[in-house]
Amino acid sequence: MLTTETNERNRERRERTGSACTPLLEAATRDLFHDNAFRITGLTMDATMREITKHVEELRMLEEFGEGKSAHTAAFARKPPPTVEEIREALHRLKDPEKRIIDEFFWFWPQEPGRRRSDPALQALARGEVDSALQIWTSQEQEHVCGAVASHNLAVAYWVAALDWECCVSRGQTNERQQEEMAAYLQAGYSRWRRIRDDDHIWDQVAERIRQMGDPRLKPAFVGSMRATLPLALAKICAELALTHAEKGRMSLARMHIELLREGGEEAASFVKAAELVLTPVTSRLREHIRRTKETAHEKPEAAASAVRDLLAQAIPFVAILDLFYGEAEHVGKEVLDELATACIDCLVSHQKKTGDNHAFVELLQMTLPLADAVDVRQRIEKNIQIGRDNLAYVQVEPIRNICEAASKAAEANPASADEQADRILSAASGMLPKLSGSGVPNEILDRAHDEVALAAMHCAVLFGNKTEKWKPCIRILEQSLRLAVSLDAQRRIRENLATVRTRSALYDDLTPISSAPSLSTVNGIGFTLYGCTDHDPATDSYLATYYFVLFFVPIFPICRYRVARSANSYRFFGKAALRTCDKWHIAVSIAVIIAAVFAMGSSSSSTSPSPSSYTSPNYNYTPVPATPAPSAPAYDTERAEIQAERTRLQELENQIEQLGREIDSDRIYLDRTSQYAVDAFNEKVGRYNALVQHAKAANGAFNERVHNYNAGVRR
């Protein structure tokens, strides 16, 4: 047996040898012994080319006459016998010196070179007596002189048997006991290959054999290259077997080969390289599949989901293979999986944008997530999964959102019936939102749906109140909306409007609409005017004033009360209110006083002194009307016509402001505050609205001044 120091020296020598032996690595497959030229021909490894050529011709003739089986009676003969084409290929291999020396190395050797005819073990093999040959080699293995050759032959015998069993496994012809025997043969062969690797006697024989062949194509350095590459070649065979079993789903057998590879020695150090060699074709196929999938998604996005599904079907077994070979250790396969995951994301995003198929989008991304290793790739997958789930939830919420949108548009088109649209929204919400709560819709989406319903109903209530000045229905709608709202912002906006509406309801709901402004003119102090200021409303700067018949500017009869807002020398009338009790007593006292005065004095007359007055619909802020000129002042007809034209322009401006205000109220409900572009556009519209309001106020001030001057001229 070799000592530890000898092993270290041998290892150092192998490290100093040349690069890997490519012919050995090419031959190191599961078919290493199946395609061995000496097994196919039935010759010993030291047969001459003349013997080989003659024997091959005989085999070919027997095969042609259908008697090939009779020529393959030795131990480990191929079953079924090789074909004529395989025999011809074997002869071709033996003419290549590198391939021949490799086939010789992996076949049975005589104990003494050149004495195969007298070697008892080889003669037993020729008779088909495998057990006898194994007994001879086992007894010789512990001998110092011939033990290395015996170990070599036992390693070949065990691996020939094990790899033949592998072929049976591929055909499903083995049972558990046979699989255990196969594992034992592989382990027994491995232990002997390790001894051969470090035994100088074996490699000296290989070097001598190269010298005997005398082929200039076979360099002396070939021996060192073979010796250095042997651990990797053996590891590559086991790795290939493990990969084959894993691809067929035979994971227990695959793990057996991986565990065999991981057991100490230099083979374990060659494990990573062997795994890379056998997995490279698999990785290349997967990358090619990734490329085809990306092409499909680019050319036909609607077919991308199907292409990704096929790609994942190829990738999932690949993941199992990587776990088998590497476990939790870092490996290059993770880069391929991240590349695959990224391709799946891109393809599925294209598919979703083209088809809107969120079900397949979420399903396939969930299948992709376990494949990704890089943190950024996993985060991107998780983000897209959430987007897909939200989209699926939005599909369930879409009907109630469509109702809100349609009702809001109808309310804007006809504000007088906006209360009916609000009731439509609230009625639909009461039936649909509870069902959504139990359908798996995420709470975030459900809360957003509640807010959208509440704000849409609020919008309709505001439109209705502004149009009709009927505020009590608005209070009911806003109270229901407030119960639906979830977010603090939505609740705040509804509460603000509710407070305003309640105030307006207290101030305006008892008003009676009027079609025109009352006369505010007096003649020598006799006529009609307004007195008093109660129930002030800061929001509109309006108040209640009593409409009196005056005599010498003394209020005689309170006729009714009006809610008005004063601007310069004109009034805006909101509506008529009932007289107070004190006003009724005032009427009674005035009647009594007048009756008494009638008997005391006569009537008198005086010149008229017109007082400016105007009525403006409650929906507008500034629309003063100039007083009608006296018949004796035709010079003012032209100016009055200009004033009326200017009033028309002011009315158009105020209509524009009102329309823009409604648009802003609608936009605010559906404003996407996550979009800077949408926010900027909304702010620009608000700025335009404010500028128009300021312009209207300035124009109205100038208009009122002109009316004042006009009325002053009329009075003069």
For residues 131-152, average pLDDT: 86
Return the pLDDT at 65.
54
Structure token digits, residue 206? 């290989």
For residues 535-551, average pLDDT: 80
Does a cis peptide bond (omega within 30 degrees of 0) precede residue 618?
A: no
In eight-state DSSP terms, residue 512 is B
| CA-based nearest residue to 230, from 92, 407, 351, 105 | 105
Return the pLDDT at 181.
79
Return the pLDDT at 624.
41
- Residue that the structure tokens 């070179």 belong to: 113
Q: Which of 398-412, 437-451, 622-636 has the lowest mean pLDDT?
A: 622-636
Q: For the chain, what percent of residues have pLDDT higher than 70?
A: 85
Give the pLDDT band of residue 15 (cuts 50, 70, 90): very low
Q: DSSP characters for 314-375?
A: HHHHHHHHHHHHHTTS--THHHHHHHHHHHHHHHHHHHHHHH--HHHHHHHHHHHGGG--SH
For residues 44-63, average pLDDT: 73
Return the pLDDT at 623.
37
Q: How far apart are CA 497 and CA 302, in angstroms?
A: 48
Return the pLDDT at 603.
39
| Cβ neighbours of residue 12 closer than 8 Å, sequence gap 6 or more | none
3-state secondary structure of 128: coil
For residues 700-713, average pLDDT: 79
Give the pLDDT band of residue 209 (cuts 50, 70, 90): confident
Which residues make beta-bridge pairs with 545? 562
Higher pLDDT pick, 716 / 590: 590
Give the pLDDT band of residue 59 (cuts 50, 70, 90): low
| CA-based nearest residue to 480, from 443, 430, 445 | 430
Q: How far apart are CA 655 and CA 509, in angstroms?
A: 24
Higher pLDDT pick, 179 / 94: 94
3-state secondary structure of 705: helix
Higher pLDDT pick, 476 / 45: 476
Higher pLDDT pick, 419 / 71: 419
| Cβ neighbours of residue 418 closer than 8 Å, sequence gap 6 or more | 411, 412, 460, 461, 463, 464, 467
Return the pLDDT at 12.
47
Distances (CA, A) of 20 to 26, 156, 224: 11, 22, 9
Does a cis peptide bond (omega within 30 degrees of 0) precede residue 120?
A: no
Higher pLDDT pick, 171 / 437: 437
Return the pLDDT at 290.
94
pTM of the model: 0.55
| CA-based nearest residue to 248, from 172, 165, 159 | 172
pLDDT at 43 over 80: no
- Residue that the structure tokens 């639909």 belong to: 428
Mean pLDDT of the chain: 80
- DSSP alpha helix (H) spans, 521-627: 581-598
Return the pLDDT at 93.
87
pLDDT at 402 over 70: yes
For residues 478-489, average pLDDT: 92
Return the pLDDT at 627.
40
Range ranked top by mean pLDDT from 346-355, 563-572, 659-668: 346-355
Q: For the chain, what percent of residues have pLDDT higher than 90?
A: 24
The amino acid occupying position 455 is L
The C-alpha torsion from 502 through 504 and 509 to 510, rounded to 10°, is: 110
| CA-based nearest residue to 230, from 266, 202, 259 | 266
pLDDT at 106 over 90: yes
For residues 557-571, average pLDDT: 81
Q: Which of 68-72, 114-118, 328-332, 549-553 has the lowest mean pLDDT?
A: 68-72
Range ranked top by mean pLDDT from 79-93, 155-169, 274-288: 274-288
Which residues make beta-bridge pairs with 544? 534, 563
Give the containing element (helix H, strand E) for 673: none
Return the pLDDT at 439.
67
Structure token digits, residue 655? 């209509």
pLDDT at 707 over 90: no
Give the pLDDT band of residue 354 (cuts 50, 70, 90): very high
Cβ atoms of 616 and 575 within 8 Å: the answer is no
- DSSP alpha helix (H) spans, 509-602: 581-598
For residues 337-353, average pLDDT: 94
pLDDT tens digit sequence for 240-258:
888 888 888 888 888 888 8
pLDDT at 535 over 90: no
Q: How far apart are CA 616 and CA 516, in angstroms?
A: 8
Return the pLDDT at 639.
78
- Residue that the structure tokens 């609000």 belong to: 422
Handedness of CA 651, 656, 660, 663 (dihedral sign): positive
- Residue that the structure tokens 């509506």 belong to: 575
Q: How far apart are CA 496 and CA 167, in angstroms?
A: 83
pLDDT tens digit sequence for 269-325:
677 888 888 888 989 999 999 999 999 999 999 999 999 999 999 888 888 888 888
For residues 592-609, average pLDDT: 57
pLDDT at 367 over 70: yes
Give the pLDDT band of residue 461 (cuts 50, 70, 90): very high
For residues 571-575, average pLDDT: 80
For residues 94-122, average pLDDT: 87
Structure token digits, residue 329? 């250790």
In eight-state DSSP terms, residue 81 is P
User: Which letter, b or e, does each residue of 36-72 get, where b requires 16 or more Cβ atoms within 10 Å of its Cβ?
Assistant: bbbbbbbbbbbbeeeebeebbeebbebbeeeebeebb
Return the pLDDT at 182.
81
Find the helix packing angle between 251-262 and 304-326, rounded to 10°: 40
| Cβ neighbours of residue 76 closer than 8 Å, sequence gap 6 or more | 33, 39, 125, 130, 157, 160, 161
Range ranked top by mean pLDDT from 27-31, 145-149, 532-536: 27-31
Return the pLDDT at 609.
36
- Residue that the structure tokens 């509870």 belong to: 434
| Cβ neighbours of residue 527 closer than 8 Å, sequence gap 6 or more | 519, 520, 521, 549, 550, 611
Return the pLDDT at 610.
38
3-state secondary structure of 533: strand
